[in-house]
Every structure is written in C-alpha cells, then in structure tokens.
Structure 1
Amino acid sequence: MKKYIVFLFAVIVISCSKDEFSEQIRLESKIVVEGWIEEGDFANVLLSSSIPVTDVIDSTNVLNHVIRSAKITVSDGETFEVLKVKNDKNRVPPFVYYGNMIKGEAGKEYSIKIEYLNRIVEAVTTIPKSVQLKSADYVKKNATDTIGYVFVKFDDPADEKNYYQIATRIDSEEPIFVPAFYGNLDDKNFETSSVSVQINRGVILFPKTKFTPYFADGDLISVKLRTQNKEVLDFWNSWQNEIVNSRNPIYPSNTSLKSNIKGGIGIWAGYGQSTLVVKTPPKK
C-alpha cells in the first residue's frame, strides 16, 4: 500500500521573516499534536516535534522528528486511559498512539495530557451530536469520463448551531480520512436546511502520484460527515488558508495556524460522524 504523510501534523515547519531568522532557529522545537476522538470510536494521536525552516523536508527527516516515547493520557472526566503506541506501516510516520477503553460519546468533554521529557502539553475538546448523511454519489460531467466528483446530501438541524467537516478515504490508497478541500462548513452559510455539497478530494502530503482534486473509476470511496466545534473549524480553516496562500502546505506562509493545544501546537478534536461508502464504476 502507498505510504503518505496525510496531514500537516506529521510535521510543522517553523517559518519566519529574515529579521527573525537567526533568533528563530535557536528556539526550542515545539511538540506538535494531531489528535482526535470520534463518536463511537477511540482516541488517536500523532505526535512529533516541529522542524526548523533550515532543515530538509523529506520522509527520512520527518521520521527523525517523530515522538514515540511520550505518555499520553485521555480522560472523559471519569475514566483515565494511557494510550498505547503502535507501528502502522501504512502511514508515514508509522507511529500512532491509540486508545481502546474510552469510546467517544456525543455531548461529552475529553481532555488530553501529554508528558514528554520535561514538557507537559494539554487540551480539551467536546464531541458534538452527529448529523446523518442522506446520500453520497459519484457524478461525472460526461458519461465517457473516467473521473468525477462526489456529491453529498444531508439535513442541517434548523434548531442547532453546527460546524461540519467532510472527509474522504480511498480504499487501498489512503490509510486515514483526508479532509476535503473547502470541506469545512459553517451552517450560517446554508440557504436552506437541505444541504447538497460537491466534494473535492483533499490535499495529501508527499503522495506517490500527482495530486488531483477529483476521484476516478475504480475507487472505493468512504465519505464521512463530521460535526465539530468552532475551534476545530477555525484550525482546519487556517490550515486550508496556508495551502491556498503558500501553495505548499509543508511550508506555511506564516505562523497563523489556530490551535487549542496548551504548551504545544496542533489540534485535539472531537467529532460526531456519519459515514457512507461510494462505489465507482470498474476501471477500464
């Protein structure tokens, strides 16, 4: 299976202006967190240290910055669980901290505490109530095309404030759900409660093949509608802005990425979720 660095939080490069350059490279690297817990599932955390702007960015250097020996504790306020770490060869970096005791529930608050060397990193998140996908369909512009997009439909609860993220995963190609490009949604922008959205494939770092924003015949696509809170939406919007502005998500144009991590950088997110599988025509 192809290996990918899926999100920014395998690595964050510290960027700086010329005037700040000498001082910046002397700063201590930061602990970078990408952690999440979904309704009906257990916690997952990717952990690394930030990479100075002077370093070469490749898969080998990324592995040198992975943190494999931290103590990560997740709690729902009643139960405390220390996450285990496993080697997942389908990912780069291949190390994932995971839980198997505390399962995500809508409406609950979840804290995370990371202890590494002399540092402590903490964050808190909540899981919003899930909103169910009504449908997800693979649509081509022309019948003879071998590529297309996915359209999803769902009903936004009129009496609730909701923030959404749509993510996709192609079976046998992607080991994790990838946020769709422009797939972070605030329901204040919906004209009606009946929502129909085109899904553009999300950006993958270090892909084995050239990135394309569409899907193709032969793909088996899992589509996930996540509900998230405002601070998680703000993080993913800032991450998306870096991609748009710099055109290279490995090198942020500035250090404006939002974060809810105390003592580090990154995101600890709680998600409600609804998933559908989309089958495309066989590849010719």
Structure 2
Amino acid sequence: MRKYRVILVALPFLSGCVDEISVDLPAPPKVLVVNSVLTPDSVFRVQVSRVASTVDSSSRLLSSANVYLLAPGRGAELLRNQGRGMYTSPNKPASGVAYTLRAEADGYPAASATDTVPAAVPIREGWHSYPTGTDRNNELLGTIVVRFDDPADEVNYYEISAYQQQYGNQGRIYRSQDFVLDARGNAALAAEGDAEFSPGSLVFSDKLFNGQAFELRASFMPWSFSAGSGTVNGVPFGPRLSGEAFVSLRSVSRSYYQYRKSWTRHFYNQGTKGPGGDLNQLLFLGDPTRMYSNVKGGYGVVVGHAQTVRFLPKR
C-alpha cells in the first residue's frame, strides 16, 4: 500500500472550501496492456503499455517488451520494436486465421490474446437522400439506405458508419466526423439496446436476419450543406450535401463487437456524449462501467475487422 495525499475541492456552486486528507490506496496491478486491431489492409501493429497509478509520471508505454505473433502451422514471429511501445510485423493478417499475440516483459506476467479477421461482406446497394425530414429543432435530416446479404449458417457481427467527404485545393480530401445515424426503426438495431447511449456507429449481430438480405434505413444530419436552390443543366435543386456521402460496412469479430458495445457505454457514462462530447456533462458523470478485454494475464483488446467502403449516390 502506498500513501497519497488527496485534495478535495467542492464545486463552486456548492461552496468554496478545500479539504486535504491522507489515504492509503492499493498499488495498481503489475500487468501489461496489449492493444491491436487486425485488418487485412494493414500490417500487424501492436501497442504494449503497463498499468500505472495516476501519480506515476513515468511513461506507460513499454519499449522493452518482446511481442510474438503466433498462427496455426507457423512458428512464433518476433515483432519489430519500433519504440514508444509499438511493435510491428511486415506481414498482413488473412481472413479466417486465428492469430495470437503474446507480450512478455521483465517483471510482468505474460499477456496474450487471440482473434480472427472475418471475411469482408460486400455492400450490394446503397444511396442517400437529402433532405427527407426535420428533427425536433427543425434541422434538416437526410436518409441513408444500405443493403447487403448476410452469409448463412454462421454468426456474424457488423459495424456501420457513414461520413461526408469534400475535396479542397490540390486534390486534398477532407473527411467529416462520422454521421450520427438514427436507426431506431430497425428491429436488429433496436434489439441491441444501444440507442439510449448515443453510439458513434451502429454495431449489431445477425441474430434476427441470419442468412438473409439486410436493409438499413437510417436518418442523419450532415456536417455541412448548401441551403440554396436553383438549377444545374436545367434540373432544379434544393438543399444538398456540400460533399459526397460514403458508408463503411465492417465485418467484425465477436471480440470487436463486445469491445465496441462496452466502449459505447463507457463513453456515454463519461458525460461526453455524442461526437465531440459536451464538457458541461462532466459535472454529472454516470457510474463506472467495466471495459471488455480478451487479453489473458493483462488488459486491452486484440480484435479484427474487414471493411467495405462505398460511395452513396443521391436519390
């Protein structure tokens, strides 16, 4: 046990007092934290850090670990140490292969996790319309429609997000934050119970449509739009998006699905709800929630996904 001095400051609208007490706090567990997202489009990248107390000013990133990549039918590969807790391999994950990442460091128990990258699922059809309605503040809303075919006889998990993309000088691409998609009318999304937590993306399973065609119809509010009206080549137009709309469909592993659902609740309970957050909510934080981890002997997550991105034409 280590002794810390804790200063308590009352909120200004309650009183202006400051109190100082001494308390014995347990030392944090001496374990490793391993984080990695496996995708078929990028090489293996693993970050290794350690659990540390809030008063520990030394770096949490560990640059002295050994990180091994293991796969069926292959010997263990020692990943390259890139410094600042980052370890990489020149190879890329393949879909359907169970990869294990194992981290070892002096003075810490070994930590490992296993996950598989699912096969990408193509988007069969998709478009957007804008505007199609208004919210309760009379702000214009649009509609995004996405259709894909769910592989049969297997449990699948998905994540859908959408965003705007604009082109600036010299072909520079500007991408917006992801739209907040409202899909409360969809049975598969409603069954997830995430709507009240203002999720930044839609994460769901195929429990209600296994092996069937799936359609997502969701409303969204653009980040920027042109409010004027007129004609282009004789065709009249009204309000429209300032950029192009895109949708991302990720096939995600079960571990990714569980992590994202726990992260949504954690982010909501922080009080910084929604994209960008609301610092005023920090005065009214929710109860702590346990984050999902699939790392044995430590913390963190090793998860996989495969992504399909499609341009959404206007209808």
Matched letter for residue 104 of structure 2: E
Deviation at 1:255, TM superposition (A): 5.0
Q: How does 1:45-194 map to 2 (within 5 A)?
A: 45-52=46-53, 54=54, 64-77=59-72, 78-86=74-82, 96-101=86-91, 103-119=92-108, 120-137=110-127, 139-141=129-131, 151-166=145-160, 181-190=200-209, 193-194=213-214
Moved more, 131-140 or 157-166: 131-140
Paired residues of 2:131 and 2:140 also in contact (CA < 8 A): no
Paired residues of 2:262 and 2:291 also in contact (CA < 8 A): yes
Moved more, 116-125 or 162-171: 162-171
Matched, 1:263 2:270: no
Deviation at 1:37, TM superposition (A): 1.5
Aligned residue for 1:159, secondary structure, equals coil
Moved more, 260-269 or 240-249: 240-249
Deviation at 1:229, TM superposition (A): 2.9
1:104-133 deviation line (CA, Å, top 9, x unaligned): 222211010112233211111122222112
Aligned residue for 1:239, secondary structure, equals helix
Matched letter for residue 34 of structure 1: N
Matched letter for residue 149 of structure 2: D
Deviation at 1:242, TM superposition (A): 1.1
Aligned residue for 1:106, secondary structure, equals coil
Paired residues of 1:182 and 1:240 also in contact (CA < 8 A): no
Cα separation, 2, equivalents of 1:96 and 1:72? 10
Listed as ranges, the gaps of 5+ residues in structure 1 are 1-20, 88-93, 175-179, 201-212
Moved more, 164-173 or 38-47: 164-173
Cα separation, 1, equivalents of 2:102 and 2:205? 29
Which has the higher Rg, Structure 1 or Structure 2?
Answer: 2
Paired residues of 2:266 and 2:289 also in contact (CA < 8 A): no
Where relative contact order (Cα < 8 A, 6+ residues apart) is larger, the structure is: 1
TM-score using structure 1 length: 0.63
Identity of aligned residues (%): 21
Aligned residue for 2:147, secondary structure, equals strand
2:265 to 225, 232, 241: 241
Matched letter for residue 203 of structure 2: N
Cα separation, 1, equivalents of 2:305 and 2:97? 11
Deviation at 1:265, TM superposition (A): 1.0
Cα distance change, pair 104–185 in 1 and its aligned pair in 2 (3 A): same
Paired residues of 2:49 and 2:85 also in contact (CA < 8 A): no
Cα distance change, pair 96–248 in 1 and its aligned pair in 2 (3 A): farther
Deviation at 1:239, TM superposition (A): 1.2
Listed as ranges, the gaps of 5+ residues in structure 2 are 1-22, 134-138, 166-172, 177-198, 225-240, 274-281
Paired residues of 2:48 and 2:103 also in contact (CA < 8 A): no
TM-score using structure 2 length: 0.58
Q: How does 1:214-253 map to 2 (within 5 A)?
A: 215-216=223-224, 223-248=247-272, 253=287
1:224-257 deviation line (CA, Å, top 9, x unaligned): 3222232331121111111223324999843521
Deviation at 1:136, TM superposition (A): 5.0
